Structure 1
Amino acid sequence: MAGPPPQRPHEPVPGNPYATPAPAPKRRKGAVAWVVAGAMIAAAGVGAGAYALLKEDDGRRSGGFRAPIARDAGPPGEPSGSGERTDAPGGPDAPVRRVDVNAGRRPGESKGWLDLNGVKLPGKGAMLGDLWTVDGGGSGRTDKLVVQALYDTVTAYRVRDGGKAWTLRLPDKVCDTPVDTAPGGHVVLAYGNGTTSGSGKCNQLQQIDLRTGEKGWHRELKEHDLSDSTSSVHLAMTGATVTVGQGDIAHGYRVRDGKRLFSSKRERTGACFLRDVAGGARLLYVESCAAGAPKAHGLVKNVDPKTGDVRWRYRTRDGWSVDKVYSVDPLVLALRNKDDYDKWGVVSVDGKGRERAWIPLDKGPYAYDMCEGAGDAGEGVQNCPGGAVGDGSLYLSTEPKDGTLGPNRVVAFDLATGKRRWTAAVRGRQLTVVRQTGDGKRSGVVVYVRAQAGQTGRTVRFPAGGGAPEVLLRHSTPAQKWEAEMFAGETLYSGGRIFVAPSRLGPEGLGGKKEQGRLMSFGR
C-alpha cells in the first residue's frame, strides 16, 4: 500500500521507556504542489497523446507534469473521519459507470481497463491496500485475478478485462494488508473492531481465499497488557505463516487454520522494541533499540517462520534506524539518521547478517526522496514506491531537479560495492520504479513512465546493464486523462501487465468530481 507526508516513525508501544518524540517532519519542495499539479493536469485535458522518444537523456531537461502520490492525514490507528460514510460515490454493490479506455485507441497502443471507485468512503477518505495477483481457479492466463482492499471492501478483478470476479465486504475498515500472499492463493488481512467510539483497534484477522472470495478462519487479537496493543498492527506472509506485529510482540499463525505457531520473546539485553514485521522469502522482525540514547540503533532479526527461532541478527550503525525494507532476500534496507531526518542511506546485508555495502544517498549528483516522498501513514516497512532490487542491483528513482513537476532518472547501485552502476532517463518524463511479481519477471528493471498533459503513460524495461529501454506497453490515448489524474502510488507489473492505483482516495476527486479512478491496467 502506498501513502503520504513525511515518513512518520512507528510509535513505540505504551510504556516503552525509550520512546522519543518523532523527528520534525521533512519539509519537501512542493509538498502541497500535488494539488496544484492535479488541477493543471485536469485543465490540460487529454492532449495529443504524442509518443515520447525513448532513449537516454543527454542532460537536457524539459518540463513535464508529475502525477504525485496522494498524501494521508492523521496517524495510524485513528478512526478515519467520523466513522460515518458519505454519499459519494455509491455503495460497494452500487453500479458505477464503465469507462472504455480503448475507444479511439491508436495503432500500437495496449488494451487497458479502468475501474471507477464504487465504495462509499468516510469523510477523510481511505488508503488502498496492497495489490495481489492470483490464478482464479480456472485454466489459462484469462483466469488470473488482481485483488485489492479499499476501506471495508475487498474486490477481485479479472486481469484480462477488469470485470469483477467477486466482492467481499467486511464488518469494518481494513487496517492492514500484507505485501505477499500464501501459496495456494490465500491471504490474511486485519480489520477494525466495528466501533466508532474512537478506540481505533485493529484486532480482527480474516483469512480469505483470493481465488473465490470465500472467507476462511477468523480470529480476534487479544490484548493482555501494554506490550501487545492492537492500536497499530502489521502483517507479513512468509510461506504458510502469517506473522502479526502486535504492539511489541510478534505472533505467528498457520495460514491454513489460524493455529498459533509462536510468539516472540523480548530479549533482556539491548533495550529493543518491535517496530514492524516483513515477509516474503524471509520473515524479519524490525526493531528499534536504545531510542534516545547516544548509541540508538536499529536491529533486524531473521526468524524461522515455523518456530519463531531467531536465525541471525543485523545491527545498524549507531545513530541509524531501519525505516523501510526494499528486499528481504537479499536483505536491502533503507536507514534514516536519528539526528538529521533528511539524511538517509541504503545498506545491503549478506546471508549471515553482516553489512555488505553501504550506499550513501546524500552525496553525488542526484537527490533521492525515500519512497518518493510517499511517507508512511501507518503502512508497513515493505511499502516503499520508487525502489526495487534485482540482478545484484538496487534501482531507485531520483527526485526531480525541478521539484514536484519535472523529469527524473533511474539509477542502479551495485549491492556488492555500493557504487553507482548506471543512470538512465526518458527525455522529459517522470519515472517510477515498479514492483514485479509472478509471471513475466525478467532481468532488468520495469519502470512506469507517468502519464502527463498531452502524453500517455508507458511501461518500459531498462536492461540490467543499463542502456536504452525496451517499450513493454504503450498505454492507450483515451486513458491519458484518467491516468494522469490518478496520482499513482501503487504500481505492479505481473504476467505482462501493469497495474496502476492511487495510494489513497478521498470521498471526492479533483474539483469535487464524484468519479475517481481506483485501478487501471494495461496489457498485450
Structure 2
Amino acid sequence: MTQPPDQPPQGGFGAPQDQPPPAGGFGAPQQPPAQGGFGAPPPLPPQPPYGSPVPPQQPHPGYGYPQQPGPYAQPGPYGPQPGYGYPQQPPYPGGPVTTPPPGSGAGGGGPFRGRPALVVAAAVAGLLVVGGTVYAVTGGGGGGKKPVARQSDDPKASGTPVNPGDGSGNGGKDPENLNTGRKPGEAKVLWYKSAPDAPANGADAPGMWITGKTAVKAAYKQVFAYNVGNGNPTWAPITFPQKICAVTAHKSADDKVVVAYMNGTSDQAKCNQLQEIDLNTGNKGWTATVADGGLFDSALSIALTISGKTLMVGRSESGTAYDLGSGDKLYDKKKYGTACFPTAFAGGTDRLIEVASCDAGGSDEHDEISQLDPATGRVEWTQPVKKGWQVQRTYSVDPLVVYMTNEDKKAWNISTLDGKGTFRSEVKVDEKFAPQCGWALLTRDLQGCQGVAADADTLYLPTDVSGGANEIVAISLADGRAKWRVKSPTDESMYPVKAEGGKLVAYVRPSYDAGGQVVSVPTAGASHETTRLLQNPQHTADIEDSFYDGAVDWVDGRFYVSSTRLTGSDQAKEKLMMAFGN
C-alpha cells in the first residue's frame, strides 16, 4: 500500500514492497502479483488511478496482494491523502485468480481451485487492451490433493435416494445413487443435475440464483430451475436460439434476472438480445435489443448489472440503463468531459458505480470512479485515480472496495471509498490473497469475483498457499489493518462465501478422505474459531471437486455448487449442479 506523504512506513497487512510505496493516501494501488491467487485480479494494462504510481515490486506467489519489502514513499492511485497510504503489495502476486477464457483448455478442478494467473501473451494482450482490460489465465487443475471418492464400508451409511437429472434437456437420468456410502454425521446429497449437451469446445454456464423455493442455473442455451429441497423441476427449461453470453450476477429484490444471448453464430454476431426472467415462475418478461454505442463500442460483448430497479448494460465505452420492471430505456451513459468513456459498472441494492477511462493514450490518461443515481443516471460524486492505475474489480459495492493494478509498476492495490467517494483506507496486510475471479473479454467484469466477502466495517480475504491449508484474514475498512485471521480446519483451502448475521460463512474444499465443509466464524468478540455447519460426504468428494471453477452459495441451511463452464467432453457425464443439506 502507499504511505501518506512524508510519513514513515506503516506496518500492517500489505506485504512489503521492493520499492517505496506511493505517497498517496488510502488508495495507493499495490503491485499486482506476478501470478494471481484465488482472489487476486489479473494484471491489466496501465490505467491511471487516483494518484501517482507505485514503484514496481516483485511478484508474490499466492493468494492476494503481497507487498514487497522496501522503502515507503511512492505515491498511490488516489493522490496524497492524510492518514492513508501504506506499503503497496508486490507486483501482481496477490491479485485475484482469474479463470481461463472459454476453450482455453486451462483450468479444471473444483470450486475456487484457482491457480496463479499468468500474463497473457503479447498477441492476446493486444486484444485485451482494445477491450480496456488485460487478463490473466489460470493454469490447469492442480494444486493440492485431488479428492478421490471411495465407497464407504460403514454398514450404517444412509442409502437415501437422490433425485438425479430429470431428462428435461439436461443430459438424461444418471444411475448413480450418491447417498449410498454416506457416513453418520455427513450431510446428504439432496439432489444433483447432469449438464446439457455442449459443443466440443465447451460452453459457458454462467450465474446461479437461489430464491426461497427455486435454484436457477444457466447453461449454454438454456436456463433450468429446480426445487431447492428435492431438485424437481419447478418450471420447464427456457431455451434460447443462440448461446447465452451474459447474465446478471445477482437477482433483484423481487427475484428477477436478465439473460443476454447472441443474435447469431457468425464472427460478427453480437451479445445484444435481452430477456427478463422471473426466477420463481419461469415467466419470460420483457425483451430488448441492445444498440451499438459507436465504431469501437459495439455490443459484441456486454456486462449486465442490477442496481435496485435498474438494469445497466455496459459496453466497452458506454452504458444503457433500462427499467427492470418494464424494460423501458431510462438513459445512456456516454463520453463526458474531454475524453472520458464509461467502461464498467457495478451495482448494489441502491448503488450504481461507474468506472470510466479518460484520455486513453494521452498525457492525462487515468481512470475515474463515479457513483450514479440508478434511476436517473445523475452523477453523485466522481473520484479520479492516479495515472498508471486501472480499476479492475469491486470486491464489495456497499461498502465500496476496489481492486486496482498498475501494469507499468507491476503493482496492485485494494482501497475503500466512503459514501461520498472519499478515499477511506487501503489494505496494509503483508499477505498474498486469492479471491476467485472470472474471465472478461471486451468489458471489465467489476463484479466477477467470488471467494471474498465484506460487511459494514470488514473485508474478508483468503490467503493463497497454492492448494494447501490457508487462512481468511479479516481486514478493517477503517484503517486497512488485519483485525483477526482464522486458519482452515483441514489441510485444504477455505474461502469466504458471505457475511451475515454477525458471522462469516466460508467453504472448505474437499480433500482425499473427506468432502467439503461449510463453516461459520464469529465476526465479533475475542474468539474466531470455525464451527462446522455442514460436512459433505467423502463418497462424493471427487464429484464435488470436479465442478469447473464452480459457483457456490449457502442459503437456508443448504449448500449449492454448480459449474460455470462445460467442457463438452463426451468421455464423461458432466454434473451441472449439486445441493447438500442435513
Normalised TM-score (structure 2): 0.71
CA contact (8 A) 1:91 1:118 kept: no
Tell me, in whole angstroms, the C-alpha distance in 2 between the residues paired with 1:251 and 1:26: 28
How far did residue 272 of structure 1 move?
Answer: 2.2
Deviations 1:346-376 (A, max 9, x none): 1111000000001156xx2x3224x346544
Tell me, in whole angstroms, the C-alpha distance in 2 between the residues paired with 1:177 and 1:20: 19
Paired letter, 2:518 = T
Tell me the residue number matched to 2:283: 214
Tell me, in whole angstroms, the C-alpha distance in 1 between the residues paired with 2:581 and 2:335: 48
Tell me the residue number matched to 2:578: 520
Provide closer, same or farther for how the CA distance between residues 291 and 20 of structure 1 changes in structure 2, counting only shifts above 3 A: farther
CA contact (8 A) 2:270 2:300 kept: yes
Tell me the residue number matched to 2:180: 103
Paired letter, 2:459 = L
Tell me the residue number matched to 1:287: 356
CA RMSD of aligned residues (A): 3.0
How far did residue 492 of structure 1 move?
Answer: 1.4
Deviations 1:27-51 (A, max 9, x none): 8xxx5341x569x736x4437799x
Residue 395 of structure 1: which of 430, 440, 460 is its match?
460
Paired letter, 1:316 = V
* Aligned: 1:260 with 2:329: yes
* Aligned: 1:236 with 2:332: no
Tell me the residue number matched to 1:493: 554
Provide closer, same or farther for how the CA distance between residues 376 and 105 of structure 1 changes in structure 2, counting only shifts above 3 A: same
Paired letter, 1:3 = T
How far did residue 323 of structure 1 move?
Answer: 0.6
Paired letter, 2:477 = L
Secondary structure at the counterpart of residue 478 of structure 1: helix
List structure 1 segments (4+ residues) > 6 angstroms apart after TM superposition: 47-50
Provide closer, same or farther for how the CA distance between residues 373 and 190 of structure 1 changes in structure 2, counting only shifts above 3 A: closer
* Aligned: 1:442 with 2:442: no
Provide closer, same or farther for how the CA distance between residues 246 and 21 of structure 1 changes in structure 2, counting only shifts above 3 A: closer
How far did residue 435 of structure 1 move?
Answer: 3.4
> What are the equivalent positions in structure 2 for 1:94-493 lying under 5 Å apart?
94-97=171-174, 99-135=176-212, 144-166=213-235, 167-193=237-263, 195-223=264-292, 225-226=294-295, 228-269=297-338, 271-281=339-349, 282-293=351-362, 296-341=365-410, 343-360=411-428, 364=430, 366-369=431-434, 371-372=435-436, 374-376=438-440, 380-400=445-465, 403=466, 405-436=467-498, 441-465=500-524, 467-493=528-554
Deviates more, 1:460-469 or 1:330-339: 460-469
Tell me, in whole angstroms, the C-alpha distance in 1 between the residues paired with 2:180 and 2:151: 15
Tell me, in whole angstroms, the C-alpha distance in 2 between the residues paired with 1:96 and 1:103: 17
Provide closer, same or farther for how the CA distance between residues 21 and 280 of structure 1 changes in structure 2, counting only shifts above 3 A: closer
Provide closer, same or farther for how the CA distance between residues 104 and 464 of structure 1 changes in structure 2, counting only shifts above 3 A: same
Tell me, in whole angstroms, the C-alpha distance in 2 between the residues paired with 1:112 and 1:301: 44
Tell me, in whole angstroms, the C-alpha distance in 2 between the residues paired with 1:91 and 1:165: 11
Tell me, in whole angstroms, the C-alpha distance in 2 between the residues paired with 1:464 and 1:7: 34
Paired letter, 1:191 = Y
CA contact (8 A) 2:272 2:299 kept: yes
Tell me, in whole angstroms, the C-alpha distance in 2 between the residues paired with 1:454 and 1:518: 23
Tell me, in whole angstroms, the C-alpha distance in 1 between the residues paired with 2:310 and 2:406: 33
| Structure 2 runs not aligned, ≥5 long | 1-97, 102-116, 121-126, 155-166
Deviations 1:302-347 (A, max 9, x none): 1111111111122223321111111111111111113144x32211
Paired letter, 2:327 = G
Tell me, in whole angstroms, the C-alpha distance in 1 between the residues paired with 2:460 and 2:398: 15
Provide closer, same or farther for how the CA distance between residues 156 and 98 of structure 1 changes in structure 2, counting only shifts above 3 A: farther
CA contact (8 A) 1:429 1:449 kept: no
Tell me, in whole angstroms, the C-alpha distance in 2 between the residues paired with 1:374 and 1:502: 13
* Aligned: 1:92 with 2:169: yes
How far did residue 252 of structure 1 move?
Answer: 1.0
Deviates more, 1:425-434 or 1:90-99: 90-99
How far did residue 92 of structure 1 move?
Answer: 2.4
Paired letter, 2:512 = A
Provide closer, same or farther for how the CA distance between residues 356 and 246 of structure 1 changes in structure 2, counting only shifts above 3 A: same
Secondary structure at the counterpart of residue 485 of structure 1: coil
Tell me the residue number matched to 1:138: none
Equivalent residue pairs, number: 447
Normalised TM-score (structure 1): 0.78
Tell me, in whole angstroms, the C-alpha distance in 2 between the residues paired with 1:184 and 1:296: 40
Deviations 1:177-213 (A, max 9, x none): 11222232222121100x2221131010111111111
| Structure 1 runs not aligned, ≥5 long | 10-15, 51-89, 136-143
Paired letter, 2:577 = L
Tell me, in whole angstroms, the C-alpha distance in 1 between the residues paired with 2:468 and 2:404: 26
Deviations 1:218-239 (A, max 9, x none): 1112226325410111111112
Deviations 1:136-166 (A, max 9, x none): xxxxxxxx11112111110111111222222
Paired letter, 1:464 = T
Secondary structure at the counterpart of residue 258 of structure 1: coil
Paired letter, 2:346 = A
CA contact (8 A) 1:3 1:375 kept: yes
Tell me, in whole angstroms, the C-alpha distance in 2 between the residues paired with 1:264 and 1:520: 40
Tell me, in whole angstroms, the C-alpha distance in 2 between the residues paired with 1:523 and 1:121: 29
Paired letter, 2:547 = M
> What are the equivalent positions in structure 2 for 1:12-91 lying under 5 Å apart?
31-34=138-141, 36=142, 41=146, 44-46=148-150
How far did residue 173 of structure 1 move?
Answer: 1.0
Tell me the residue number matched to 1:87: none
CA contact (8 A) 2:311 2:323 kept: yes
